[in-house]
A and B are shown apart, each in its own frame.
Chain A
Amino acid sequence: MIKLVYLIPLLPLIGFVIIGLFGKTFSKGLIGIIGCGSILGAFALSLGIFFELIGQTEKSITIDLFSWITAGKLSIPFSFLIDPLSSLFLLIITGVGFLIHLYSTGYMSHDEGFYRFFAYLNLFIFFMLLLVLGSNYLIMFVGWEGVGLCSYLLIGFWFKNTAYNNAAKKAFIMNRIGDLGFLLGIILIYVTFGSISYHDVFMQAKNFSTGNPVLTAITLLLFVGAMGKSAQLPLYTWLPDAMAGPTPVSALIHAATMVTAGIYMIARSNILYTLAPFSMEVVAVVGVCTALFAATIGLAQNDIKKVLAYSTVSQLGYMFLALGVGAYTGAVFHVMTHAFFKALLFLGAGSVIHAMGGEQDIRSMGGLKKYLPITHLTFLLGTLAIVGFPGFSGFFSKDEILAHAYEHNKVLWFLGILTAAMTTFYMFRLYFLTFKGDFRGTHDQEHHLHESPKSMTIPLIVLAILSVIGGFIGIPKVLGGTHFLDHFLKPVFEDSSFRMVHHLSEGTELMLMAVAISVMGISLYYAFTTYVKNKTLPAPESEELKPIHKLVYKKYWIDEIYSTVITKPLNFISEGLYKVIDNELIDAIVNGIGSLIKWKSSKIRLIQNGNIGFYIFVMVISIVLILFTRLI
């Protein structure tokens, strides 16, 4: 089965080519079958590889496909690496990807760009699989850029809307800043190790001493790449804007898969990071700051997708916190559970938007529980999972992260708990305002309300089940579990394990859980009293908000600050350079050379006077001159 790994990315690629080239003439049903079928095939293969990997002792298999780049001493084969980490990501990408494809067949069924949408989605899956399968940094970079491209195409999917196009461009440019860091990191890796394949790099890295400045530089540069792709401070602003894309795109790319690429990259390079403690601190601090910062913004947003977007940024911050404190397994665990419940929440939001006829403002919703029973139930389960309700998947993964954070630094833990409290508040605020109370929309909207078709509800149900049980593969020992995931991923993180020496006592661990649960309970109760008992509604657009509320509602004016501090000066300088350097200087040189030649030639062409005698005379004189110069 592992020998067939090349089929996993190939199937979506074939799907993309077929749909992209001929999709216009196909019926929607056929496009749906090709699009979903190719992903389902990839999922089946991934599942096979996953179980084969569990069954065998050899945990890291490199499969060479062909020699890709050979130049001088540089030789990069096109090869895939199968190990527990990549096989887990394969499952997440193809599994969640398939469900979202299925959902899209319903969600996008009225869209005229149906075939285009599926072509892009398949291309995205292809690049994402390339990203996690590659056995060296260059293949990862190709996938990295590819998913960025697909993200751009899908955010700007409804390209007739200028605001959407701008959001797409913003995402692309912001990512470019991060990608530069990533690229420099790869170059530095090549210069330092003379190779970019994971195997060689990690083997050699073990010989470096802890805190080596070169490793610190490499890891920081790689982290800049991760900041862009995984929407961390200060490069996160593109992700909330990326909600301009269709909702399945938000679920697939901007919640479940692409934005976790940064986490994958750091988890993959865990040895480098473990040997660079300073970078680890940076990752942890940036992560926890992002988590807290985005959560505060999420508290006051009124757009159902914006709340989820900031929640995603916040949860990604959580994952970086986990990476920063050395809890690599915890980070990957949270990637997985987050993929389940965040995809579920986004798809649920999509179902709500679908029913509301495009309305996204939660102030106009309310009481949808009785109109959308399946969406309501699954959304509730997703919410419980994300807030870490005991027994749900989010509980186990968050708990593991918080426990490691506590062990590492109490301040990080406290900020993490604070974020968790806010997460609970804004998620239940979202849930209560959307599904509880009375309907606040227009009469037309109320009339239009309907449960979504089966193609949309089935993925919701499957994801809801996964959100509930997904955490069971990582039940900590203290609760009597075996933590299967920890064992499974052990070979990947083995070399980094020397850093995790001390362990919490069982009592402390249980105490931390109790604290987390009670904080969540208090926050939940507070949200309940505010939005259900007292029926408080978010202020309408016209009302003047209190300063702090307004600060948060306006997202700390970060976009405006970026615009004044970076974009506007940059535009000003460009304008100046354009007018002075380009128009005055460069144009003057180019035009000057042109007119000089024109003037000279107007004189020289007089020699060509049409008189043959003169020509012959010049010819003879010239020959004589040439002969003279040759002979002397």
Chain B
Amino acid sequence: MSAIEVVPLNWYLMLSTILFTIGVLGVLFRRNAIIIFMSIELMLNAVNLLLVAFSSYLSDSKGQVFVFFIMAVAAAEVAVGLAILMMVYRNTKSSDINVLNKLKW
């Protein structure tokens, strides 16, 4: 009985659902690019949490391996994303995504 299984699986499910929903809503309704970014991270980590919980309950290590991959990809994504945000800010003096509406027909 590992430390993870002290908490029932349902709670993990609920927590990660709540976290994911917060992330989605953040992405949908906030206009600050950095907050959107954070919301995406929130969604990723909600998924990670769920993967770890299920992996432990089902005694299958594949889920945890997956989590490592997601973390690595997320780190890379953050590096690139923040760099883009830096450039956007330098050019527009703003982190509001609605400023970026030039690319249309």
Q: Do A and B come from one complex?
A: yes
Cross-chain contact A608 with B105 (CB below 8 angstroms) = yes
| B84-105 interface code vs A (CB 8 A; 1 in, 0 out) | 0000000000000110111111
Is B27 in contact with chain A by the CB < 8 A criterion?
Answer: yes
Residues of B57-105 at the interface with A, using a CB-CB cut-off of 8 Å, are: 97-98, 100-105
Cross-chain contact A613 with B105 (CB below 8 angstroms) = no
Residues from chain A with a CB closer than 8 A to the CB of B98 are: 611-613
- A623 closest partner in B (C-beta): B24
CA–CA, A605 to B104, complex, Å?
Answer: 9
A609, A612, A620: the one contacting B97 at CB < 8 Å is A612
Q: Is the interface of A mostly helix, strand, loop or mixed?
A: helix
Residues from chain A with a CB closer than 8 A to the CB of B103 are: 610
CA–CA, A609 to B27, complex, Å?
Answer: 18
Residues from chain A with a CB closer than 8 A to the CB of B100 are: 610, 612
Residues of A572-628 at the interface with B, using a CB-CB cut-off of 8 Å, are: 605-606, 608-613, 616-617, 620
Chain B contact residue count (CB 8 A cutoff): 13
Residues from chain B with a CB closer than 8 A to the CB of A617 are: 28
Residues from chain A with a CB closer than 8 A to the CB of B31 are: 613
Cross-chain contact B28 with A620 (CB below 8 angstroms) = yes
Residues from chain A with a CB closer than 8 A to the CB of B105 are: 605-606, 608
Cross-chain contact A610 with B24 (CB below 8 angstroms) = no
- B100 closest partner in A (C-beta): A612
Give the tally of cross-chain contacts (CB within 8 A): 28
CA–CA, A620 to B43, complex, Å?
Answer: 13
| Minimum C-beta distance from A618 to chain B (A) | 11
Given contacts A612-B97, A613-B97, contact A620 B102 (CB under 8 A): no
Cross-chain contact A616 with B27 (CB below 8 angstroms) = yes
Cross-chain contact A616 with B28 (CB below 8 angstroms) = yes
Cross-chain contact A610 with B104 (CB below 8 angstroms) = yes
CA–CA, A610 to B102, complex, Å?
Answer: 6
| Minimum C-beta distance from A49 to chain B (A) | 78
Residues from chain B with a CB closer than 8 A to the CB of A606 are: 105
Cross-chain contact B24 with A608 (CB below 8 angstroms) = no
Residues from chain A with a CB closer than 8 A to the CB of B27 are: 616, 620
- A616 closest partner in B (C-beta): B27
Residues from chain B with a CB closer than 8 A to the CB of A612 are: 97-98, 100-101
Residues from chain A with a CB closer than 8 A to the CB of B36 are: 616
| Minimum C-beta distance from A613 to chain B (A) | 7
CA–CA, A613 to B96, complex, Å?
Answer: 10
Residues from chain B with a CB closer than 8 A to the CB of A605 are: 105
| Minimum C-beta distance from A371 to chain B (A) | 86
| Minimum C-beta distance from A128 to chain B (A) | 66
Cross-chain contact A608 with B28 (CB below 8 angstroms) = no
- Pick from B36, B100, B105 the residue with the most CB of A within 10 Å: B105
| B17-47 interface code vs A (CB 8 A; 1 in, 0 out) | 0000000100110010000100000000000
CA–CA, A611 to B102, complex, Å?
Answer: 9
| Minimum C-beta distance from A412 to chain B (A) | 83
Residues from chain A with a CB closer than 8 A to the CB of B101 are: 609-612
- Pick from A606, A609, A613, A620 the residue with the most CB of B within 10 Å: A613
CA–CA, A617 to B26, complex, Å?
Answer: 11
| Minimum C-beta distance from A385 to chain B (A) | 85
| Minimum C-beta distance from A598 to chain B (A) | 13
CA–CA, A612 to B92, complex, Å?
Answer: 15
Residues from chain B with a CB closer than 8 A to the CB of A620 are: 24, 27-28
- B27 closest partner in A (C-beta): A616
Residues from chain A with a CB closer than 8 A to the CB of B97 are: 612-613
- B97 closest partner in A (C-beta): A612
Residues from chain B with a CB closer than 8 A to the CB of A610 are: 100-104
| A349-365 interface code vs B (CB 8 A; 1 in, 0 out) | 00000000000000000
CA–CA, A610 to B100, complex, Å?
Answer: 7
- B101 closest partner in A (C-beta): A610
| Minimum C-beta distance from B8 to chain A (A) | 24
- B33 closest partner in A (C-beta): A612
| Minimum C-beta distance from A117 to chain B (A) | 63
- B103 closest partner in A (C-beta): A610
CA–CA, A610 to B36, complex, Å?
Answer: 17
CA–CA, A612 to B102, complex, Å?
Answer: 10
CA–CA, A565 to B32, complex, Å?
Answer: 83
CA–CA, A612 to B27, complex, Å?
Answer: 11
- A611 closest partner in B (C-beta): B101
| Minimum C-beta distance from A264 to chain B (A) | 70
- A606 closest partner in B (C-beta): B105
Cross-chain contact B28 with A609 (CB below 8 angstroms) = no
Residues from chain B with a CB closer than 8 A to the CB of A611 are: 98, 101
Give B residues with C-beta under 8 Å from A. 24, 27-28, 31, 36, 97-98, 100-105
Other A-B contacts than A608-B105, A610-B100, A612-B98, 9 sampled, CB-CB below 8 A, are A606-B105, A608-B104, A609-B104, A610-B102, A611-B101, A613-B97, A616-B36, A617-B28, A620-B27
Chain A to chain B contacts (Cβ below 8 Å), 20 pairs: A606-B105, A608-B104, A608-B105, A609-B104, A610-B100, A610-B101, A610-B103, A610-B104, A612-B98, A612-B100, A612-B101, A613-B28, A613-B31, A613-B98, A616-B27, A616-B28, A616-B36, A617-B28, A620-B27, A620-B28
Give A residues with C-beta under 8 Å from B. 605-606, 608-613, 616-617, 620
